[in-house]
Chain A
Amino acid sequence: MNGIHDLGGMQGFGPVVTEPNEPPFHEPWEGRVLGMVRAVLYTRAWKIDLFRYHQEVLPARTYLDVSYYHRWLLSISRTAVEKGLVTDSEIQAGHAQGPGVPVERTLTADVLAATGVIRAPFGRPAPREARFQPGDRVRTRNFHPIGHTRLPRYARDKVGTIERVHGCHAYPDAVVATGEEDPQWLYTVVFEAAALWGDNADPTLRVSIDAFEPYLEPA
């Protein structure tokens, strides 16, 4: 969706402010939220793209006002309720009010020790030949889906060049829309800055996105 999360090319947010010697977490609860997100994703109760989408559909004012891990908390809470893992009443009470629903698997200390704290790969076997090759000129689609997409607004209906082919990956747009991965070819598409930002663009700048094949048409 054309949400506030799609920030590329917006103006007026001011300078980037850095924090010297920034810790990984500013509050202990932030680490707990991250851990919860990792552990619940491991159950396969939902996929990460739905977790992301539920941040994107937060009210714009909320999205900008709350901190990063607070957004995560809002998203995981909503997703857990929608998927029937917990109820609002339980979250309010801070205790379970009934048994859990079956999940495919749970993250144990043994699993964590064996696999490490890394994410599973998103690459998938290719269901068909790639439509594009490096060097091909492509135009990105002009669409404005209500659902989840990884084609940012600033890069829609723009002409660029295929630079890299990354194989087939789970397609986030489909994951959120249907729950199915619908693997798609993934490409790095590079744009001259003028194609994105017009006449006053920095002539030394090129910008790339990683674009799934359904976003692209031959140019």
Chain B
Amino acid sequence: MSQSPHDHDHDHDHDHDDHDHHHRDDDHGHGSHLSDMQLRVRALETVLAEKGYLDPAVLDQIVEHFETKVGPHVGARVIARAWTDPAFKAALLADATAAINAAGDFGKVGDHLIAVENTEAEHHMVVCTLCSCYPWDVLGLPPVWYKSAPYRSRAVMDPRGVLGDFGVTLPATKRIRVWDSTAETRFLVLPQRPPGTDGWTEAQLAALVTRDSMIGTGLAQSPSGAQA
């Protein structure tokens, strides 16, 4: 397997925290050159490649895509355009997949994507109680907390409590709508545009749009709290 062109897992010196919600699998990996998980994954990849089912170079490209191409910055630009372009916003809310693909400069969306708009009256939040469904094409990979038992268990029953974990308090009378992504539909929250941003450009506005605000566990940043 040493001929592998993607021999880049000599990463014993990378940042490694002890966050409880991920890679506890690697607790035994510190002392050895390659961790147990790295060896196991490499073994499977080698077998699959040797048998002709995959090309490791293609895996490199997929990894690069998720590390560098897609992420919340894509969704943030979509939101900023919706805030500044009423026709785009209407198209986005009618059919988010079609609107984003038609715009042409947000990358491709393959998912059946649905955009839901936060208003003064109603706040939207997205969860996948059964697993981890998430709008990868516009937000990239989901954070660990989105895939965790605390979020998945509680978001549908106690969203205000979950919002409290994020430091967000909504008015007691505001309606809350939680979307459980139980099928292949994917959801993108269109957060409320912060006040005090009249005349801002799309790029300026995009900087206010956080990942969490597009999941519904946060709000867009206010101008005073952001680099405008």
Chain A positions within 8 Å of B, measured between CB atoms, are 5-11, 13-19, 22-36, 38-40, 43, 45, 52, 55, 64-68, 70, 73, 76-77, 80, 85-86, 90-96, 99-101, 103, 106-109, 112, 116-123, 150-152, 154-155, 164, 166, 169-170, 172, 186, 188, 190, 196-197, 201-202, 204-212
Contacts and interface: CB of A to CB of B under 8 A. Distances in A.
B85 interface: no
A18 B180 contact: no
Given A91-B47, A96-B51, A29 B38 contact: yes
Contacts of A95: 1, 46-47, 50
B48 A85 contact: yes
B162 to A, nearest CB: 6
B178 to A, nearest CB: 5
Contacts of A16: 145, 148, 150-151, 154, 162, 165-166, 217
Contacts, number: 301
Which 8 A-B pairs have CB atoms at the shortest separation, nearest pair first?
A: A118-B110, A100-B51, A35-B59, A8-B129, A94-B43, A31-B63, A96-B50, A210-B183
Contact of B53 (A43, A66, A150): A43
B182 A152 contact: yes
A117 to B, nearest CB: 4
B73 interface: no
Contact of B55 (A39, A70, A209): A39
B41 A32 contact: yes
A210 to B, nearest CB: 4
A82 B144 CA distance: 29
A122 B184 contact: yes
B110 A18 contact: no
B66 A29 contact: no
Interface of B: 1, 6, 8-9, 11, 19-26, 35, 37-48, 50-55, 57-63, 65-67, 69-71, 107-112, 114, 127, 129-132, 137, 140-141, 143-145, 147-160, 162, 165-166, 172-185, 217
A67 B174 CA distance: 36
Contacts of B183: 122, 150, 166, 169, 172, 186, 210-212
Given A8-B156, A109-B61, A19 B131 contact: no
Contacts of B180: 8, 152, 155, 207-210
B44 A118 contact: no
Contacts of A31: 59, 62-63, 66-67
B92 to A, nearest CB: 15
A24 B46 CA distance: 23
A26 B23 contact: yes
A49 to B, nearest CB: 10
Given A67-B24, A90-B47, A120 B110 contact: yes
Contact of A91 (B43, B109, B114, B156): B43
B164 to A, nearest CB: 9
Given A17-B148, A206-B178, A106 B62 contact: no
A32 B45 contact: yes
